[in-house]
Amino acid sequence: MERGSGVPAHVQIERWLLESISSGALAPGERLPGERELAADLGVSRMTLRQALATLERDGVLVRLPGRSGGAFVAEPRIECDLTGLAGFTEQMRRAHLRAEARVLVAATVPASRRVAAALRAEAGTPVHEVSRVRSAGGAPVALERSFFPALPGFLEQDLGGSLYALLSDRYGLGPATAVEHLDPVTARPAEAAELGIAPGAPLMLIERTAYAADGTPVEYARDLFRPDRVRISVRSGVTA
């Protein structure tokens, strides 16, 4: 650390670690040396080191785990998901240069609940198609999707492992053109946590969405759960006079 530079030691540590990560000297998932060793190498107190580590943990750069096998680890970089253009998960991952994968949990025709029926402008109890999937990027689960669609003929017999928006567009001419989405922070229930590989009670971001075809026909009602430690949601906006 540079003495007399006017930059606090903990800030210098933060900058050094960020540079080490961006240069590839420290890779995602890599464990940092123990606090005692690292503080000695840097010539700072453990209190100063902990201040820097706490800031980087808060910013999502590091993950700190307790216990003998714990420590500070370089976090996996978060994936940018832009809701502005109504791109599906597959397209979002393509933009991030990651391979999107889907594991189908449910693919069935079910009676519409009141909430689903209202979103799809149908009567409660009307048959709809439910498709629930675990979405992964780079081999790691990042989202749990639960979508409901009108009971389109042959829909469930198609390949449900790829883009369902492309399926709606190419086979049925009902590609989503607009959507209304609501975001809410929630916590993972045990079954959700098990599918996403996280602890029960861990934070999740719920995106509730109703998507519409170009003529205004509702074609999907969805409740998607995203891991905020792996995905960052963004929306672009402009100013109108």
For residue 92, what pLDDT is reported?
Answer: 73
Mean pLDDT of 57-73: 79
For residue 50, what pLDDT is reported?
Answer: 92
Average pLDDT over the chain reads 88
Asked if the model's pLDDT at residue 220 lies above 90, the reply is yes
- Give the number of other Cβ atoms within 10 Å of residue 103's Cβ: 12
- C-alpha–C-alpha distance, residues 15 and 21, integer Å: 10
Mean pLDDT of 185-193: 95
> What DSSP assignment string belongs to 26-74?
S-TTPBPPPHHHHHHHHT--HHHHHHHHHHHHHTTSEEEE-STT-EEEE
For residue 97, what pLDDT is reported?
Answer: 61
For residue 6, what pLDDT is reported?
Answer: 77
Query: What burial class does residue 70 get, using C-beta atoms within 10 Å of its C-beta: 0-12 exposed, 13-18 middle, 19+ buried?
Result: exposed
* Contact call for residues 89 and 100 (beta carbons, < 8 A): yes
Q: What percent of the chain has pLDDT over 70?
A: 92
Indicate the SS3 state at residue 126.
coil
Mean pLDDT of 149-177: 95
* Contact call for residues 10 and 55 (beta carbons, < 8 A): yes
For residue 138, what pLDDT is reported?
Answer: 72
Read off the pLDDT of residues 76-128 as tens digits, 9 standing for 90 and up.
777 777 776 666 777 777 666 667 789 999 999 999 999 999 999 999 999 99
Q: 62 or 49: which carries more pLDDT confidence?
A: 49
Hey, which bits of 188-230 come out as E strands? 203-212, 218-226
Question: Domains (ranges, CATH) in the chain?
Answer: 9-74 (1.10.10.10), 79-234 (3.40.1410.10)
Q: How confident is the model at residue 65 (pLDDT cuts 50, 70, 90)?
A: confident
**What's this model's pTM, rounded to 2 decimal places?**
0.72
- C-alpha–C-alpha distance, residues 150 and 157, integer Å: 14
